[in-house]
Structure 1
Amino acid sequence: MGHVDGTNDCYLQKSAADALNKARIQQHIPLKSGYGSGDCTRTFNTNLRFWQKYANNQVLAKVQQGKETKILGLVAPPGTSQHLWGLAIDLRVGSKEQRKALNQNGWFQTVENDVPHWTYVGLTEDNLPLFGFNKQVIRGITYWITPL
């Protein structure tokens, strides 16, 4: 794991942390909460707690059947969060320059309508379509979505 500079307890996979630290040198990019761990890697139990807060087992069954997708913009089903794997972080991004620095370092928004959520993909924007990502602009924000 790699440490996110300027935080007490924010860790991501080493390549993701290195890329984020590089982007944060280029631009001031604060974490969503402003301080740390809840924005970074999360445990399975934390993911499960979020799921139970916003959804239930009936919703999970509909997600598994492909009949429900809106909930996925709010919370990931237990065990599937990119935060669990140290590949996602919640950030406060408000400028084109911040977005550009993140994108140049392999970070993209990949969860439709989850504005603070950024995923480390480790690719250039030009290569995202080659790996199945589809560009969608929603309310002025560019998301790179994978088909369900």
Structure 2
Amino acid sequence: MKPTQIQTPTGPCFTKLAEVDAQYAAANGYITGLERPICDSFGTFNGTQYLGSQAFCVAPDGSQIAGFMVNRWEAVDMDCKCARDMNAYQNTGIIGLKFSCDRFGNYARTGCYGSVCYCQDRSGNPIGDARVNIETLGTLKC
């Protein structure tokens, strides 16, 4: 029977995490202003990261997505899914899609495609059958 081989986690976030942990170890604990990155199981950065009193959205490689930064204590339900989807789409160079993100980088409660608006879930998918013209978006109850 072969012994189980332990794989070292790889990916940009795990690499950064190892660097931060080494800095903590070298300093015997706490370093002001140094935050451990939050990684997903694939070794990429979780959408929401923190630095001091701020929470912000990042791409899977850890690069910050402009326009999505809030106070840390406000970031309870911050998932940055919309900000990440929008960032990935913009990086393709293709134009045409419009993303409806709230200030936390989450999908807003309403979304629009062209001049037609609808309620959407936390993944940006339309929910329900209600559709209104963009001019009457305020009448949509989501």
TM-score by length of 1: 0.28
- The structure with the largest alpha-carbon Rg is 2
**Structure having the larger proportion of residues in helix:** 1
**Structure having the larger proportion of residues in strand:** 2
TM-score by length of 2: 0.29
